[in-house]
Amino acid sequence: MKFLIRVFAVLCVVSGMSAICSEKPLKTKEPKPPVSRQLATIDGIAITETQARAEGAEKLDSLELQNLRTKAIAARSEHEILEEAVNSIIEEKLLKAEAEKQHISKDELLAKEIQQKITEPTAEEIENFYEQNKQRITKSKEESIPQIKKYLRQQREGDLREALLGRLEKEHKVVRMIQPLRFDVNAADRPSLGPASAPVLLVVFSDFQCPYCKRFSAAVKEVTKEYGDKIHLVFRQFPLTNIHANAQRAAEASLCADAQGHFWEMHDLLFQNQNSLRDEDLRSKANQLGLNMTAFNSCLDSKRFGGKVNEDVRAGSAAGVEGTPAMFINGRFLYGSRSAEEISEIVDEELAAQPKTAAKSKSTR
């Protein structure tokens, strides 16, 4: 009853203005600021925790980011373990049911449906694989053939297993209720492309000095062009300052260009030549874009957007970002420099999960 009386004591004002619900504040004395505890003294003069925190601010900030990241990674790992466990249980039950249906053992079923159907890779297939991947293969072609053959055979085995389980899932009407883990990493005031109402939100965390980010940006551009207004792309900064000396300033410069409505043009120039990201290079790029140089120089010199860059790093860390590039597709984490096809695969899943009115087919390739 006391709770109800307290609820009805709340003042709710709704009259052509915003709704405001609040209690009348009690008159209380202003609280005294907390006293910083002493951690040491020298000649009787205290060294306080406040002083120590100011001295170790950089390391404490780094520790905080590490803790945020660790928490997010743990959540992601837990979710992955649960997904794997669910899939393992489903697979075991499906194979057992099919084996019983055919009056054979599980091993006999796998031999019949998979092992006996695997065809050996041809010389032409091995040759094609080597030619397509030779830049990543460290051994000679002759030395690589046994491994390539084994890899292609395992790939076929996996495809056959997937096909078998896919068929059995349909027959037994398997429904998975476990949803992908999603992180809220959107920021309305960051550089973006596409309508904010688009059914798929892509949030990219990137570093202008990272070579993998440059490659990834091309894939992202391909995907955004392919899906048109089905995608809203948001760019967030994640400079890896411990290995990329110019990344922080390049990030700030891109936002200075954004203040003049030219973020994406600066984005392309920064990635175009990653060896030219010193301050004088950034000013040269701004001049090349025809920006107001007085405003740009003032913005860059004052580190106007340094805080916003740090906010992005914090947001990325809280979502488990450890390096770049990193992408979130409707909150689903995708790490590393992925191809346009890999991004599209998840985009298609997200579109398929939308209500039919929003899940129309993507733009013509």
Residues 204-238 have pLDDT tens digits of 999 999 999 999 999 999 999 999 999 999 999 99
pLDDT score of 19 more than 60? no
With cut-offs at 50, 70 and 90, classify the pLDDT of residue 356.
low
- CA-wise closest residue to 50 among 68, 34, 31, 32: 34
Q: For the whole model, what pTM was predicted?
A: 0.76
Sign of CA dihedral 156, 158, 160, 163: negative
Judge whether 325 and 246 are in contact, CB under 8 Å: no
Distance of CA 219 to the CA centre of its chain: 15
pLDDT for 5:
40
- Calculate the alpha carbon distances from 364 to 225, 359, 360 in Å: 10, 15, 12
- What residues have CB less than 8 Å from 21, skipping those under 6 apart? 10, 11, 12
Q: Where are the beta strands (DSSP E) in the chain?
A: 11-13, 20-22, 38-42, 45-48, 192-193, 200-206, 231-237, 326-329, 332-335
Q: Where are the beta strands (DSSP E) in 140-274?
A: 192-193, 200-206, 231-237
Q: pLDDT above 90 covers what percent of the chain?
A: 82
Residues 131-157 have pLDDT tens digits of 999 888 888 989 999 999 999 999 999
pLDDT for 364:
38
Distance of CA 198 to the CA centre of its chain: 18
With cut-offs at 50, 70 and 90, classify the pLDDT of residue 7.
very low
β-bridge pairing 192-193 and 45-48? unpaired
Please tell me what DSSP assigns to residue 291. Answer: -
pLDDT score of 252 more than 70? yes
Question: Measured between alpha carbons, how far is 320 from 185 in angstroms, rounded to an integer?
Answer: 11
Largest CA distance in the chain: 88
pLDDT for 22:
38
Mean pLDDT taken over the chain: 89
Judge whether 263 and 296 are in contact, CB under 8 Å: no
- CA-wise closest residue to 198 among 328, 330, 327: 330
Question: Measured between alpha carbons, how far is 18 from 115 in angstroms, rounded to an integer?
Answer: 68
